[in-house]
A and B are shown apart, each in its own frame.
Chain A
Amino acid sequence: MLLAILPFLMGFGLGNAWVRVLDFVLLYVLLAIGLNIVVGYAGLLDLGYIAFYALGAYLYAWLASPHFGLHLPFWLVLPLGAMLAGLFGVLLGAPTLRLRGDYLAIVTLGFGEIIRIFMNNLNAPFNLTNGPQGMNLIDPVSIAGFSFGKPLHVFGMTFPPTYFYYYLFLAFTLLAIFVALRLQDSRIGRAWAAIREDEIAAAAMGINTRNMKLLAFAMGATFGGLAGGLFAAFQGFISPESFNLWESILVLCMIVLGGMGNIPGVILGAVLLTVIPEALRYLGDLQRATLGHVAVDPADLRMLLFGVALVAMMLFRPAGLLPSHQRKREFAAEDGVAEQEQANLYDTRA
């Protein structure tokens, strides 16, 4: 109920810019849930997750913009983008499954950079991605003849497209949450947890670790591709700038900060880390109110305080804000055993 009227509350209370922020919150929740499958469930540290987001977004732009003159419908393009991303997830996963923890992290990071650099440079010899300028005029979502691109006028009020996208994103996010929650306790989810805790033991119990890890990569990537397609339609413009390593790191921060492996925690992390930088935009007003003038440019101060917040939250809640039950237990356990378990949690070598 609250979710249903939230954009109106925000829109009238804080201005329409905040409805846009809400849309981004939902996109990031979607991304965080996807990455949580890879990192939180299966314990595979992925630092190049944003590449899948980029793939989804670029596929949408290729198939629904004047760039190639194609204007395929939303319902066709979006699943295609998700599938493409999933395929790349398998392509990335297949050769790298033998790698442990941090080696895997650096390979995924390299993969993310490779995708971004290609996006940045593939405007020659043939113009595939339009290079650093990015692609614009991407078709907005259109359902049953109703285009999301134009504002709607009813009862003397004007609702910008951000409102429609809110409900669209909300639907996808709820779907993703549902899928993620069902996965968690399913046979697959338990297999992932087993692999995360101890890969050798999991294999000994008859789990096909290779297929399960590939599945985690593919599932996570599919969510990323889906979010990417939505992002492209929502923005109407994409460029390689939106898909740099910092974005991958930001999404990772969301899930670790919120409480890895625990869906409510992941959602909380995504909400916090999207809203905090936006809220910090008010620093300029705050300075004017207290000091009478703007001493430091709020844009410069914003990221600084974001970094401080990140460090502080992690120091006070090292297991995340809402840790999963399992990890909470491990924290409460007596030192010796708990420590050993912690050490093993993300390190299959131990």
Chain B
Amino acid sequence: MDIFAQQLVNGLVLGSIYALVALGYTMVYGILELINFAHGEVTMIGAMVALTVIGVLAGVAPDLPGVLVVLGGILVAIPACMLLAFGIEKIAYRPLRKAPRLAPLITAIGVSIILQNLAMLIWGRQYVSFPEILPTTKFEVFGAHISLLQIAIVVLALTIMACLWLLVERTRLGRAMRATAQSREVAELMGVNVDRVISATFIIGAAIAAIAGVMVSAYYGLAHYYMGFMLGLKAFSAAVLGGIGNIAGAMLGGLLLGVIEALGAGYIGDITGGFLGSHYQDVFAFFVLIGVLVFRPSGLLGERVANRA
């Protein structure tokens, strides 16, 4: 029971981070049908920028409470990532909007390589560690240890998702985004400034990614120039699992993938009689992904589109 509860908690924490990153993928995909490969790297840049600011702040004002220092880091990382995503969209994706579908995918991969190597030049090849400034209080619930940080991550993630939901469903911009996703041409005819909406989508996704990046680095206690790759891959898988283009699907897919992964890592040894160990964690996640897609080809919450209506 304790292992189960503990892994469930770990999975939920990890899953809410995946869900946040997945939101960025799914929003862009919903509007442009583009796999924004560079999104994982934007998350990484967010973590790196925040860590730098946090390091400086912790050095200048050692008396400042840790939460404020981290908040400072997040507040710098968000605009940095927004600016970055705005630039990426403008330079690498916008000119290719009428090109064949795989062309922007290649520039996305190129941008992702560029960002990774820039980060390596700036921050070096070694792991950057997260300073131990956050309180490490732990609670025990149902035999699972839950830290304050874990609670904060989940609560913050849920808050962000709720805000995004409101933004998309209740505001003018949200309506414009939904309209653009349905049909770019018709939205344009109705007076929606499509370019602006697309930029806004990228920027919102990047802001959320920046927060997710800080969460990951705080949770694992480190950041690395290569971290965006696997994180992006998992998040994209989560988005597909939930049904890509669907915001609720990304949230569900992220949480589910995190929990499956954590439980898989905890139990895979028992299930297979010790044949496969916890290093097969990733395999487990991908098997589930493939399994789900074979039986529900458009994801869990994806709308079922007839092949050609």
Contact = CB atoms under 8 A, between A and B. Distances in A.
Interface of A: 39, 45, 95-96, 98-100, 102-103, 105-107, 109-111, 113-114, 117-118, 120-121, 124-125, 198-200, 245, 249, 252-253, 256-257, 260, 296, 300-301, 303-304, 306-311, 314-315, 318-319, 327, 339, 342-343, 345-350
Contacts of A121: 276-277, 279-280
Given A107-B293, A311-B92, A349 B307 contact: yes
B297 interface: yes
Contact of A110 (B92, B107, B290, B298): B290
Given A113-B286, A307-B114, A311-B92, A319 B99 contact: yes
A114 to B, nearest CB: 5
B283 A260 contact: no
Contacts of A303: 113, 116-117
A348 B274 CA distance: 44
B105 A256 contact: yes
A102 B297 contact: no
Interface string B246-287: 000000000000000000000000000011110110110011
B8 interface: no
Contacts of A307: 110-114, 116-117
B118 A304 contact: yes
Contacts of A311: 91-92, 107, 110-111, 114
A103 B293 contact: yes
A98 to B, nearest CB: 5
A120 B276 CA distance: 12
Nearest to B241: A106
B92 A114 contact: no
B59 interface: no
A300 B121 contact: yes
Interface string B220-240: 000000000000010011001
Given A307-B114, A311-B111, A327 B100 contact: yes
Contact of B100 (A124, A315, A342): A342
A308 B240 contact: no
Contacts of A109: 233
B15 to A, nearest CB: 18
28 contacts: A39-B102, A96-B294, A98-B297, A99-B297, A102-B35, A103-B240, A103-B244, A106-B237, A106-B293, A110-B286, A113-B282, A117-B279, A118-B283, A121-B277, A121-B279, A125-B275, A200-B307, A256-B102, A257-B106, A310-B109, A311-B91, A314-B106, A315-B95, A318-B99, A318-B100, A319-B103, A342-B98, A342-B99
The size class of the interface chain B forms with chain A is: 35 or more
* SS class, residues of chain A in contact with chain B: helix
A308 B107 CA distance: 9
Contact of A347 (B29, B33, B286): B33
Interface string B286-301: 1101100110011100
Interface in B88-132: 91-92, 95-96, 98-103, 105-107, 109-114, 116-118, 120-121
Contacts of B107: 310-311, 314-315
B81 to A, nearest CB: 19
Contacts of B297: 98-100, 103
B60 interface: no
Given A98-B297, A253-B109, A307-B111, A346 B102 contact: yes
B170 interface: no
B172 interface: no
* Listed residue (B240, B244, B305) with the most chain A CB atoms within 10 angstroms of its CB: B240
* Listed residue (B98, B110, B233) with the most chain A CB atoms within 10 angstroms of its CB: B110
Nearest to A112: B286
